[in-house]
Amino acid sequence: MIVDSLLARAAAADATSPLRHCRDRFDLPAGLVYLDGNSLGALPVAARDAMDDIVGRQWGHDLISSWNANGWWDAPLRVGDAIGRLVGAAEGQVVVTDSTSVNLFKAFVAAARMRPDRNVLVSDPASFPTDLYLLDAAARLVGAVVERVGPAELPDFLAERGDEVALVAVSSVDYRTGERWDLPAVTRAAHGRGALVLWDLCHGAGVLDVGLDEHEVDLAVGCTYKYLNGGPGAPAFMYVAERHQEHLDQPLSGWQGHAEPFAMAPSFEPIRGVGRVRVGTPPMVSLLVLEKALAAFDGVEPITARTVSLSLTGLFIDAVSELCPELEIATPLEPERRGSQVSMRHTEAFGVVQALIGRGVVGDFREPDIVRLGFAPLYTTHREVVVAASHLAEVLASGEHRLPVNQQRSTVT
């Protein structure tokens, strides 16, 4: 009875969803409920269909001439502008280049160099490990000190030591719990004490109405293989507000960021604009596939994606509360405080995730006890939300998660 009521609610939501037409833009396996787009986005049809042209014609036939004839050289900025539209950045402020890790390092060092009279770099201790590792590495390079301060404690820390802080680095969404941090408030608080702010948008780009320009963010980075559906290993992006570009001194002076790259000069002179954060030759096939993948967002406004995301996560939270009341929901219940995932705590979380996968509901596990399900608004349906919650209830009721087959761990969880 409860499931029937939830399915009826889901059917009504799917029938009126402003993104219901976007599902057909993806190549999804029949019968699979895919709730892991926060780790690897689904395959867009446009990206799949473009592979023959990218590999066969551009690489195979046009060869080296493609740098000019097919716009390869300008692709990092062209694709960057397409992503900029989704994160609220005007043209000329986003470039697709390198990996998230490399971009974080460049941004951390550049920010420290823009505030040479300050020696404290602040990060959330719950950030994704790469963010923490690289901030430590950057701090060693520039002679700075890293302080681990959560966003909730940041105002008090800034009130006490704000005049020492060069940079505050925060993830837009906590990768474990799915909590969305208040980007405008954190940015204002840091700027109020003269610090720069960097946002990691890996779990926000494509599902949040980020508004980088509107909220005067300084720097941002993000990956493109999650909610942007760029494919495994797709290059990342970096945002540099226009007001900082002229003075940005990033530590990796590569030839593609040179003002005259084909002059082959022995000394480095950075190009004007955001292109100065480019380093080496980009992975062109992945970059061009990403460009085609972003067509899945044609006609989609960030606020619309956010609205549908909240509808999906809200329905799932209600369904879990009804069907699995014993589960602790780790994601904030308040809509404004959550990203596009719902995380639940269970002492046997790994087995729960494996049992769900065995039933055709794909999510993932995060240490130590998190069942994590991501809801991609362009292709996840409300019906799938209810189906997933129903399977979850059946797994817990049956003890299926304790079966030996669901205890076997592979490298990737």
Residue with tokens 């951390």: 108
What pLDDT was estimated at residue 413?
77
Are 16 and 79 part of one and the same domain? no
Measured between alpha carbons, how far is 133 from 140 in angstroms, rounded to an integer? 11
Q: What angle do CA 316, 322, 325 make, to 5 degrees?
A: 100
Are 275 and 386 part of one and the same domain? no
**Single residue among 282, 297, 312 that ends a domain in this structure:** 297
Annotate 251-296 with DSSP letters as a single string. S---GGGBSSGGG--SS--BPSSGGGG--S---HHHHHHHHHHGGG
**Single residue among 269, 297, 325 that ends a domain in this structure:** 297
Q: Is residue 42 part of a domain?
A: no
**Single residue among 297, 326, 344 that ends a domain in this structure:** 297
Q: What angle do CA 223, 226, 228 make, to 5 degrees?
A: 80
Are 339 and 280 part of one and the same domain? no
What pLDDT was estimated at residue 278?
98
Three-state SS at 28: coil
**Domain count for the chain:** 2
Measured between alpha carbons, how far is 375 from 373 in angstroms, rounded to an integer? 7
- Straight-line distance from the first to the last Cα atom of the chain, in angstroms, rounded to the nearest whole number: 34
Q: Is residue 383 part of a domain?
A: yes
Are 194 and 253 part of one and the same domain? yes
What pLDDT was estimated at residue 1?
78
Residue 166's nearest CA partner among 186, 146, 140, 188 is: 146
Query: φ, ψ for residue 406 (rounded to 5)?
Result: -95, 10
Q: Is residue 155 part of a domain?
A: yes
Measured between alpha carbons, how far is 49 from 42 in angstroms, rounded to an integer? 14
Walk along the chain (413 residues) and give the pLDDT tens digit of each residue: 799 999 999 999 999 999 999 999 999 999 999 999 999 999 999 999 999 999 999 999 999 999 999 999 999 999 999 999 999 999 999 999 999 999 999 999 999 999 999 999 999 999 999 999 999 999 999 999 999 999 999 999 999 999 999 999 999 999 999 999 999 999 999 999 999 999 999 999 999 999 999 999 999 999 999 999 999 999 999 999 999 999 999 999 999 999 999 999 999 999 999 999 999 999 999 999 999 999 999 999 999 999 999 999 999 999 999 999 999 999 999 999 999 999 999 999 999 999 999 999 999 999 999 999 999 999 999 999 999 999 999 999 999 999 989 998 888 87
Active-site residues: which are they? 128, 200, 225-226, 372
Annotate 144-165 with DSSP letters as a single string. -EEEE--TTTHHHHHHHHGGGE
Q: Which helix (H) or strand (E) holds 328?
A: strand 328-329
| Strand-pair category, 219-222 with 196-200 | parallel
Query: φ, ψ for residue 336 (rounded to 5)?
Result: -70, -10
What pLDDT was estimated at residue 367?
95
Q: Domain limits at 376? A: 2-30+300-406
Are 287 and 306 part of one and the same domain? no
Measured between alpha carbons, how far is 319 from 5 in angstroms, rounded to an integer? 10
Are 269 and 378 part of one and the same domain? no
Are 320 and 198 part of one and the same domain? no
Are 199 and 327 part of one and the same domain? no
What pLDDT was estimated at residue 16?
97
Indicate if the alpha-carbon torsion angle 24, 27, 32, 36 is positive or negative: negative
Are 235 and 322 part of one and the same domain? no
Are 392 and 370 part of one and the same domain? yes
Are 332 and 278 part of one and the same domain? no
What pLDDT was estimated at residue 357?
98
Q: Is residue 43 part of a domain?
A: no
What pLDDT was estimated at residue 168?
98
Q: Is residue 38 part of a domain?
A: no
What pLDDT was estimated at residue 182?
97
Q: Is residue 288 part of a domain?
A: yes
Q: Is residue 35 part of a domain?
A: no
Peptide bond into 368 cis (omega under 30): yes
Measured between alpha carbons, how far is 232 from 335 in angstroms, rounded to an integer? 30
CB 341 within 8 A of CB 36: no
Query: What CATH number did the domain enclosing 158 receive?
Result: 3.40.640.10
